[in-house]
Amino acid sequence: MSVKTYPGADINSDHNPVVVDIKIRRFVKFKLDPRQKRIDIRKLKNPAQRTQISQKLENRLKEIERSIDNEFDENIESSWVLKKSLTTTRKTDIGFANNIKKHG
């Protein structure tokens, strides 16, 4: 960046004109993670699918409970496994809803 004043310019003013030479770089925006997708609740309204999904989830939770009982230690890893099993159930069995934007 360079700044220059021109005191002898042909302007009828008692101010000195100032000229600035600036180099501008393009600002790069970082994209944030998209919002968490919503669960497709419509699948849970069907009783047959609801029981099937709940049975799968119960089986996964029983496996986690057995592994925690064997260790006699409830730590961060066990809660992480619980969260992971819930998210995999959400992704694989239930699925995500399509975001339909309503224009009003």
Q: Note the pLDDT tens digit of each residue in 55-79.
A: 888 888 888 777 766 555 566 766 7
User: By the 8 A CB rule, do 89 and 53 touch?
Assistant: yes
What are 67-73's contacts with CB under 8 Å, separation 24+? none
18: part of which helix (H) or strand (E)? strand 18-21
Tens digit of pLDDT for each residue in 9-28?
777 777 888 889 988 888 77
Q: Quick one: tokens of 20? A: 């600035």
